[in-house]
Chains A and B, each alone.
Chain A
């Protein structure tokens, strides 16, 4: 049964390791005789390597090998699909070219690895890498999406097909209409930890990998496929990961290459990429252009929405995401059509970045909603409420739970929405214009299959095991709380082991799905232990003989009679008297068929107050309130941190983040953290987070839905809407930099 009470805030279970420097990330492991790998990237964006001179690098001190397309050791599973492709394997388009690292002289994108240099120290490998010289036959690199929009193709995946409800042009006949284009630039995940891998062949066909991956099982499978060896012989460890935000959702080609080279040189091999390589070799949020057509009647009822998006992908792989999906079900509207296209460019392949396509789409939809509200002279919340829907209009079925109205109301109170004036550019504080904006976010709530194991030890302590990684949201902390709620074992007597393929199989951490998936498995395993304990206690001769199971409760390491406080038995005593040293239960957990009757989503509402300087065009987010409607909150403290993290990411997305390509060369000009501006301390104000914290009765036994994505989805729209409210200027291409505001003036 769902616990009826709200969970208390607890400290992060891995906090002490993290603040003392004891937490070991992949690059922190050291193995005897370990060698270092450095990647040399191509200097052109399209063409062929005409010649490559590795002689000087080969001769440099400490060099153990220089690997290029001319001498790369073969990878037996090269042509098998690489794990983690979007939405299942793409249909096999024969027209699409292949990217197989260091397998041919062909260059498909700028920065593509042309050599991997291995030496016995990092410095020697880095120096030798600088000695590798290549010449090229150049072709023109097509990297500018804006110039190739007409080349959009339908991706041919079920999730990406065109959608129609009612009439495609239903918006046209409406009395009030809007047509607007919205642009999102390339954004780069840029987790603080550099990507890489440490690979160690422990035998001819056995492998130990310290990885930066959001799923150790996924990396295990990808390597098993690439090297055609038994997955059981591949051990992948990622207990700590220094952020992912989506870039660790797949195994990247250079990881596979490092494993191959490690086998060739017969030594453990470590690759730590450089920050500029993080821009080209581990994905990005794709540049996306969107058009929204919207029509409403004079009472503010939506009549039609058409949402079209075109995004870049690589020439060698069709990346897709759910950019237009929110438009299908967010508002009650009789005529809705969506269209999603991709353009194959000479760029490295994108990968889902926090919120992923939904964050891109929400910026457009929620900006458009704000623009329409303005045209209708309605308060933006009022406009949304007039088009609020209690059932999912896309699938004609109920939501498993939706408390979005309450979220609007509580967020509005917290930001002081009543101080907002509907007339733009009408509030000042000294030199600064003040504006308020809001936006909605939503993301699927999943319940994936997962396994977990729980071991109750004779001393009353509990161990929880799952292969799942914790990339930062506090997975270990949430799993601890779930186990505590089922078995009543004190929090400090629970240990969670995770991030290792020796543990029960778990899905990749992503899609805001882990508390729901792995949490349910932990819940189920602990429930099995509980049942055994109860049976032992109430059996003839047991400490609570003759009692009914439903009279019992578990708390403080005791099994007790709920209504008779003195009547209880310690779990450790119960186990001792039954000669048990451990109760060991595993569970494979998944949702039942009843889940299919519901649409399951988490929702968020973001409110911001901005200050805009009309002389400089500078925008400061001065106040932020984020409200999460994501079911029962398992770990309120870490959940609040996820929400404030979404605000920081959202401020970057709205105001500063943009990876700029010089299209003459197909190359980034700001591929470093000094020129690609993620939000820093000075950009982020104090933030208020509000949790609706009402359990979802359908999705899983805890009633919990995810929140990693909704923390970000919609935030950039809230900022753009607030900037409009402050200035009367609508910026539709992110980021909202001062030049755009000043140009508009």
Chain B
């Protein structure tokens, strides 16, 4: 813990003493919010369990080029951290079980399912989300290609498809349409835009732009 003792997270919480912080801040906040529930918990001797559940851990992670100093519960997934705490809602939740790919982001350049990644495991890593790949004014070539080939309909799986597609090319797994189909099969598109997505990826790959 020592190395974090003087960190102040983005929510303004000093973490010099975890236990004190818990007792003075979160626990009191909880008491203020739900006095009945919290008192009942204390009556039942659950205060220590409660404190444990409230446990916050410091996390430093580079997200889209900005170093973030955070204090989070260790059970928070990278996906929920991005969406619920950092307002980066471009990354989507489709299953929370690593079965659909809608939450695909890059961690140190590798595509990962953010829903299967505990945020704490990204300590010191570089995380790139769809918001960090390109912007409305300056889109990444893959984003342009998805528009050109209409590689989506409802758009919900699209951020994950695009993050996966960029990684697919970087990995060297986009040498022909069949290979793309194989290496993109972790990203489900229920609207069924697959044929257009493959066209978009092949277009970027053959265009030779460095992604």
A residues with a Cβ closer than 8 A to B are: 11-12, 14-25, 27-28, 30, 55, 58-64, 120-124, 127, 190-194, 240-245, 272, 274-275, 471-474, 637-638, 640-642, 644-649, 672-674, 678-682, 684-687
Contact = CB atoms under 8 A, between A and B. Distances in A.
B156 A242 contact: yes
Interface in B1-51: 26, 30, 33-34, 37-38, 40-41, 44, 46, 50
18 contacts: A19-B143, A22-B136, A27-B89, A28-B89, A59-B50, A61-B53, A123-B75, A242-B92, A245-B190, A641-B196, A644-B193, A647-B195, A648-B189, A648-B192, A679-B192, A682-B181, A684-B181, A686-B198
Given A27-B89, A646-B192, 5 more contacts: A11-B148, A17-B136, A19-B152, A25-B156, A681-B184
Interface in B55-78: 73, 75-76
Given A190-B190, A243-B191, A673-B97, A59 B37 contact: yes
Nearest to A24: B89
A641 B99 contact: no
Nearest to B73: A123
A190 B192 CA distance: 12
B162 A19 contact: yes
Nearest to A474: B153
Contacts of A120: 33
A646 B102 CA distance: 20
B95 A21 contact: no
B136 A15 contact: no
Contacts of A55: 40
A637 B188 CA distance: 21
B205 interface: no
Nearest to B42: A59
A274 B94 CA distance: 9
A123 B99 contact: no
A123 B53 CA distance: 10
A218 to B, nearest CB: 19
A274 B96 contact: yes
A393 B118 CA distance: 62
B33 A123 contact: no
Interface in B148-200: 148, 150, 152-159, 162, 177, 180-182, 184-198
B89 A121 contact: no
Most interface-central of B134, B157, B180, B190 (chain A CB within 10 A): B190
A27 B192 contact: no
Contacts of A24: 89
Given A19-B139, A19-B162, A59-B37, A684 B94 contact: no
A59 B192 contact: no
A304 to B, nearest CB: 37
Q: Which 8 A-B pairs have the closest CB atoms?
A: A21-B90, A648-B192, A242-B156, A18-B155, A472-B154, A472-B153, A645-B192, A28-B89
Given A645-B191, A682-B181, A19 B76 contact: no
Contact of A275 (B40, B84, B94, B139): B94
B155 A11 contact: no
B190 A678 contact: yes
A645 B193 CA distance: 6
Contacts of A637: 150
Given A60-B53, A641-B196, A194 B93 contact: yes
Given A19-B162, A24-B89, A646-B192, A123 B40 contact: no
Contacts of B75: 123, 127
Contacts of A14: 155
A680 B130 contact: no
B147 interface: yes
A60 B84 CA distance: 20
B41 A59 contact: yes
| A interface secondary structure, majority | loop
Contacts of A684: 181, 192, 194-195
B155 A23 contact: yes
B143 A20 contact: yes
Nearest to B97: A672
A120 B154 CA distance: 30
Given A19-B146, A637-B150, A644-B196, A682 B185 contact: yes
Nearest to B43: A59
A88 B53 CA distance: 49
A20 B90 contact: yes
A58 B186 CA distance: 38
A621 to B, nearest CB: 12
Nearest to B39: A59
B95 A673 contact: yes
Contacts of A60: 37, 41, 50, 53
B190 A15 contact: no
Interface in B122-141: 129-131, 134-136, 139
Given A63-B37, A191-B190, A193-B154, A16 B136 contact: yes
A641 to B, nearest CB: 5
Contacts of B44: 59
Contacts of B34: 62-64
B151 to A, nearest CB: 8
B56 to A, nearest CB: 11
A16 B177 CA distance: 25
B99 to A, nearest CB: 4
A11 B150 contact: yes
B90 A22 contact: yes
Most interface-central of A191, A241, A640 (chain B CB within 10 A): A191
